[in-house]
Amino acid sequence: MQEKINGLLEELAKAFADVKTMQELNDLKVQYQGKKGIITELSAGIKDVPNEEKKEYGMHVNTLRVAFNDAYDKNKTRLEEELVNKKLKEETIDISLPSVKNMRGSKHPFNRIIEEVEDLFVSMGYDVVDGPELEDDEHCFRLLNYTVGHPARDAQDTFYIDEEYLLRTQTSSSQSRVMQANTEKSPIRVICPGKTYRRDDDATHSHQFGQVEGLVIDKNISLADLKGTLEIFAKKLLGEETKVRFRPSYFPFTSPSCEVDVTCFKCGGKGCPLCKKTGWIELLGAGMVHPNVLKMGGYDPDEFTGFAFGTGLDRLAMFKYAIPDIRYMYGNDIRFLRQFDRKDEEYEIKY
């Protein structure tokens, strides 16, 4: 019996030395401890052993069982560790690889200006209001005192959808909409930035451009309020040293009307090619809201007065960032757009 067991122990050691997978380990378990396994059958065989040999027989079988269990447990632990290590190795992320470079966008100069203008006016208590780009003749013209056939319409030819609908030529159309929408006829303080369209095409005029409209309606609003507001606007946007000048002008929906100029930011007002040697640059149109327009908007002109102004957003961006051609704004050229990835104070504008 001793010999038999020794032989079995040797076989067992060899069998375990060859085990490489869990499957093989499980097969060994069946081979030794399964229903018809070697150890199982040896244990069952004890009944045929004479009584006086039973004790020794049992001891031998037990030696084999302990040896098997021992080897089984050790190999199981070893295989499990191997499996975990293999997984860890396979799933490792190589952080030493250079990353894929992300292209970072930058804000379009047009949006930069809108945000700057909005921040300034919101800080003065204004609301920001949107209006439709596809407008009707009524809001773009008639409610603004441009009667049918009015000569001032000539300067504002645009893209017509049909007799009544057109692409708005000015954000002033928002004036009539804001007045109309304010059913309580309470005071108004709004700016309306957005896209506008005209039949234009040269270095300083594009068929698409942007404007921002300002409208204030309240009791006792005077030209002095308009002047103070526009002075703050010009200084904040173009520099504290900027001076403002008002010239008489004409718009059907304001009276009196004016054109507002600012001192040239290149020469400071001395005269240079940018300002055509005048020292001044035209910035915007403005005026006191015409009584007819107030009336058509549902406001009593004896009780309410107001001012309005409108300026080209592209123009502002072109001044501010020294952009020589308005068409760059709409060309989608990434070399142009990439130049606007800095903070305002980091620009050194050279004309």
| Residue ranges binding ligand PHE (CB under 6 A) | 170, 172, 213, 251, 254, 285-287, 308-310
Minimum gap (Å) between residue 196 Cβ and ligand PHE: 7
Whether 140 and 203 have beta carbons less than 8 Å apart is answered as no
Q: Identify which of 322, 288, 324, 328 has the alpha carbon closest to the alpha carbon of residue 304.
A: 288
Minimum gap (Å) between residue 317 Cβ and ligand PHE: 17
Does residue 256 have a cis peptide bond before it, meaning omega lies within 30 degrees of 0? yes
Task: Give 16 or 251: the residue with its C-beta nearer to ligand PHE.
Answer: 251
Minimum gap (Å) between residue 147 Cβ and ligand PHE: 17
Minimum gap (Å) between residue 113 Cβ and ligand PHE: 16
Task: Give 229 or 254: the residue with its C-beta nearer to ligand PHE.
Answer: 254
Task: Give 72 or 110: the residue with its C-beta nearer to ligand PHE.
Answer: 110
The residue with its CB nearest to ligand PHE is 310
Task: Give 137 or 213: the residue with its C-beta nearer to ligand PHE.
Answer: 213
> Which backbone phi and psi does 249 adopt, to 5 degrees?
-150, -170
Task: Give 107 or 199: the residue with its C-beta nearer to ligand PHE.
Answer: 199
DSSP one-letter string for 291-334: HHHHHHTT--TTT-EEEEEEEEHHHHHHHHHT-S-GGGGGS--H
Minimum gap (Å) between residue 129 Cβ and ligand PHE: 14
- List strands edge to edge, sheet with 208-218: 127-128, 188-197, 208-218, 305-312, 280-289, 254-263, 244-251
Tell me the three state secondary structure of residue 208.
strand
